[in-house]
Amino acid sequence: MVDMKVNLCGIKMDNPVMAASGTFGYGKEFAELYDINMLGSFSFKGTTLEPRFGNPLPRIAECEAGLINSIGLQNPGVDDVIAKELPELAKIFNKPVMANVGGSSVETYAEVSGKIDKCEQVGWIEVNVSCPNVHDGGMAFGTDPGVVQEVTEAVKANTTKPVIIKLSPNVTDIVSIAQAAERGGADGVSLINTMLGMGINLKTGKPVIANKMGGFSGPAIFPVAVRMVYQVYEGTGLPIVGIGGIQTAENVIEMMMAGATAIQVGAANLVDPYTCKNIIEQLPAVMDKYGIDSLSSIIGGAH
Amino acid sequence: MKQMNLTILSNECIAEDIYRMVFETGEMLVEKPGQFINIKIDGFFLRRPISISDWTDNTLTIIYKVVGAGTEVMKEMTAGQVLDVLLPLGNGFDIMQSGERPLLVGGGVGVPPMFGVAKELIAAGVKPVVVMGFNEESQIFLAEDFEAIGAEVHIATADGSVGTKGFVTDVVKDLEYTSIFTCGPLPMLRALDSCAPAEIPGWFSFEERMGCGFGACMGCSCKTKYGNKRICKDGPILERGEIIW
C-alpha cells in the first residue's frame, strides 16, 4: 500500500493533487461528474473584493499543446463568494479548500484575505500576484520583488491561515521573487501561473484574443514549470505547489522530485474534466513502477 | 454531462462544406433540443463544440460546417471511428411556451439545432413554421428533412437562387407566429429581434468561443439583464427578454 499523503503548510492532504484556480470554478461542475472529495484539495476561482466581469470576448484561443486565455478574473466578488458559493461548496466538498484571491492594490489584497480568513472551509489563502490578464493588479504585482514582499506582509497581517503566493513565470529571476515572498512571511509559494502569450488569426490578421495578449497554459509549459520549481526549491525554504502543464501521474512525480509538496492541475481540467480523478487513481501504480512507497519522501529528490 | 466514447455510424457531405455525422449511442443521451456536444479530436488541445441536430434512443446526429483545422480533420473521419465526447451540454430549448404557431429560424450552420426543436414540437402536436437562411443554393441543407416531418418550410437566399431573395427577416416580416426559436449568426439574431413584435416570446441560441464547454473556465461569459451568464452552461439559449444586444 503506497502512501500518497503530504502535508502542505501544516495541513494534511490525502494526496498532493489539487485543481488549479480558474479551471475548476467553485467545484460544482466537477462534482456532477465525480466525488471531488477524492482530491487533495482545489483552489477556487480567483476572487476579488468587487465583482468582475473580466475581459471582452473572445478570451479563449487554442494553440499547439495548450490554450491562451484572457478571462480577466471574472468572479462575483468576495462577499458573494462567502455568502453563496462557499455554502454551496460545503454541500459537495468536506476538505479544506484553497482560496485564490486577487487585488488591485496592496490594500485590496489584504481586505479580501481578511474576509476569507473568517471562512472555516478555507485551509490556505493563495494570493494571485501573477494574473497576466488584469491591468490594475495581478502580474504587475508579481514581477517586482519589493511589491511581492509588501503584498505578502499585508495579507499575512490579515489572516492566520497559511498564505501561499502564486508566482508569475513572466520574470527574469523567479527565485528573487520567491525570496521576496519568503521575506514577507509567506508560508509557501505556488508556481507557475500562465506564461504571457499571443496568437494571430491569419484570416483577420489580428490577435485572436480581444485583449491581444493572454496567459498560455497547457502541457507545453510543463518543462518551464519543472525548471522554476527546481530553482525555487534551491533558493528558498518554502513549501512549493507545482503548477504548469500537469496531465499525468508521471508529471506529478516529476514535479514533486523537482521540489513540489503538492501540485495543481490546470488547463487539462478544461479538456478532460476527469483528469484529476484519473491522476489520483493512476498514482499508486506509477509509484509502484518507480519503487516509491511514500510521495512525501520524493519531494525535492532531484536535488 | 457525461464523457462517452461514441462510434461514428456515418459522416457524409450534405451541402457545400456541410457534413452530417451520426453516432451510435446505445441510449438516449440528449435532454433537450439545442444542446450540444464537445468533441475531442486527436492533435488538438481544446474540444470542438457542435450543436445536436437530431437524436433517437440509439443515435445522435450533428451537422457541422468545415471552418478550420479541427473540422477539416472531422470531415475525413469514417464509420467505425470512436470519438471522446462530452454531452449533453448547455440548457437547450424549452418548447413549453411555443404557442400554436412557433417560428423556427435558422441561419446557415444555425439551422441544425432547429431540426430537433421542430421534431419536439411536432411530437407535441404543434406544427412549426421554419425559415432557413443561406447565401446560395449550394449551401442549402435539411429543407427536405423539415418537410418530411411535417413542418412548413420557407427559404431565403442572399442571391435569390432559391426562395425569397434576401435575409430570413424578409420572409419573417410577412408571417404570423406565436413564438420564436432561433440559432444563427449574431447579426441575424439581432435583426430578428428588431423585426419581431415586442410581445412575442423568443429563445435565441448564441455561439461563442469556448474553453471547456461545461461552465468551468468562464471563457464564454456574456452579460444579460439577469446577470452574467456562461454561454456554454447557462446558455447557449437565452430568453429574448434577458438579452442585451
Nearest CA-CA distance, residue B51 and chain A, Å:
18
Q: What are residue B102's DSSP bridge partners?
A: B179
Residue A141 binned pLDDT confidence (cut-offs 50, 70, 90):
confident
- Residues of B engaging A, defined by a Cβ cutoff of 8 Å: 1-3, 40, 44-47, 86, 208-212, 214-223, 228, 233
**Contact A93/B at CB under 8 A:** no
**Contact A50/B at CB under 8 A:** no
Give the architecture-level CATH label for domain A6-56+73-198+217-298.
Alpha-Beta Barrel (3.20)
Shared domain for B128 and B171, answered yes or no, is: yes
DSSP state of A129: -
Residue A74 binned pLDDT confidence (cut-offs 50, 70, 90):
very high
Inter-residue contact B114 to B103 (CB < 8 Å): no
Alpha carbon separation from B103 to A65, B179, B184, B199, B202 (Å, rounded): 43, 6, 14, 14, 9
Shared domain for B18 and B109, answered yes or no, is: no
Query: What is the percent of chain B where pLDDT is above 70?
Result: 100
Shared domain for B72 and B111, answered yes or no, is: no
Q: What is the ipTM of this complex?
A: 0.93
The predicted pLDDT at position A136 comes to 63
**Residue B238, in any domain of the structure:** no
**How many domains would you assign to chain B?**
2
The 10s digit of each residue's pLDDT in B46-99 is 999 999 999 999 999 999 999 999 999 999 999 999 999 999 999 999 999 999
Residue A135 binned pLDDT confidence (cut-offs 50, 70, 90):
low
Task: Show the cell assigned to A188.
Answer: 509557501
The 10s digit of each residue's pLDDT in A276-293 is 999 999 999 999 999 999
B103/B179 Cα distance (integer angstroms):
6
Cβ atoms < 10 Å from Cβ of B167: 20
B38/B46 Cα distance (integer angstroms):
9
**Residue B68, in any domain of the structure:** yes
Query: What is the percent of chain A where pLDDT is above 90?
Result: 94
Contact B47 A271 (CB under 8 A): yes
* Element holding B75 (H helix, E strand): helix B69-75
Task: Show the cell assigned to A227.
Answer: 525548471
Shared domain for B111 and B198, answered yes or no, is: yes
Domain that holds residue B182: 102-205
**Residue B95, in any domain of the structure:** no
Contact B212 A271 (CB under 8 A): yes
Contact A60 B211 (CB under 8 A): yes
The 10s digit of each residue's pLDDT in A155-200 is 999 999 999 999 999 999 999 999 999 999 999 999 999 999 999 9
Residue A297 binned pLDDT confidence (cut-offs 50, 70, 90):
very high
The 10s digit of each residue's pLDDT in A89-102 is 999 999 999 999 99
Shared domain for B154 and B62, answered yes or no, is: no
State phi, psi for B14 to the nearest 5 degrees.
-120, -10
Residue A138 binned pLDDT confidence (cut-offs 50, 70, 90):
low
Contact A67 B215 (CB under 8 A): no
Q: What is the CA radius of gyration of chain A?
A: 18
Of B32, B65, B89, the one marking the end of a domain is: B89
Of B68, B89, B110, the one marking the end of a domain is: B89
Alpha carbon separation from A202 to A227, B69, B144, B186 (Å, rounded): 33, 12, 37, 22
Shared domain for B113 and B60, answered yes or no, is: no
| pLDDT over threshold 70, residue A137 | no
Sheet holding A195-197, edge to edge: A60-63, A66-69, A214-217, A195-197
**Residue B57, in any domain of the structure:** yes
Residue B219 has its nearest CB partner, among A71, A218, A274, at: A71
**Least CA distance to A245: which residue of chain B?**
B45
Shared domain for B40 and B128, answered yes or no, is: no
| pLDDT over threshold 70, residue A76 | yes
For the domain that residue B69 is a member of, what is the CATH number? 2.40.30.10
Shared domain for B114 and B187, answered yes or no, is: yes
| Residue-by-residue DSSP string for A111-124 | HHHHHHHT-TTEEE
DSSP percent split of chain A into helix, strand, coil, nearest 5: 35, 20, 40
Shared domain for B150 and B67, answered yes or no, is: no
**Residue B219, in any domain of the structure:** no
For the domain that residue B121 is a member of, what is the CATH number? 3.40.50.80
Nearest CA-CA distance, residue A58 and chain B, Å:
6
The answer to whether residue A9 is catalytic is no
Shared domain for B9 and B85, answered yes or no, is: yes
Q: Helix, strand, or coil here: A145?
A: helix
Instruction: Give the best residue of A100, A269, A271 to mutate against chain B (max B CB count within 10 A).
Output: A271
- DSSP-H helix ranges across chain A: 28-31, 78-80, 86-92, 106-117, 139-142, 145-157, 174-183, 222-235, 249-258, 267-271, 275-289
Nearest CA-CA distance, residue A125 and chain B, Å:
20
The 10s digit of each residue's pLDDT in A105-117 is 999 999 999 999 9
User: What's the whole-number mean pLDDT along residues A198-208?
Assistant: 95
Nearest CA-CA distance, residue B208 and chain A, Å:
8
**Residue B146, in any domain of the structure:** yes
Q: Which of A9, A119, A131, A276 is catalytic?
A: A131
What do you get for the CA distance between the two ends of chain B, in Å? 30
**Least CA distance to B4: which residue of chain A?**
A272
Shared domain for B46 and B84, answered yes or no, is: yes
Shared domain for B199 and B120, answered yes or no, is: yes
pTM: 0.95
Residues of B in contact with A64 (CB under 8 A): 45
Tell me the domain boundaries of chain A. 6-56+73-198+217-298
Residues of B in contact with A270 (CB under 8 A): 46, 211-212, 216-217
A64 or B89, which is more confident? Answer: B89
B48/B233 Cα distance (integer angstroms):
15
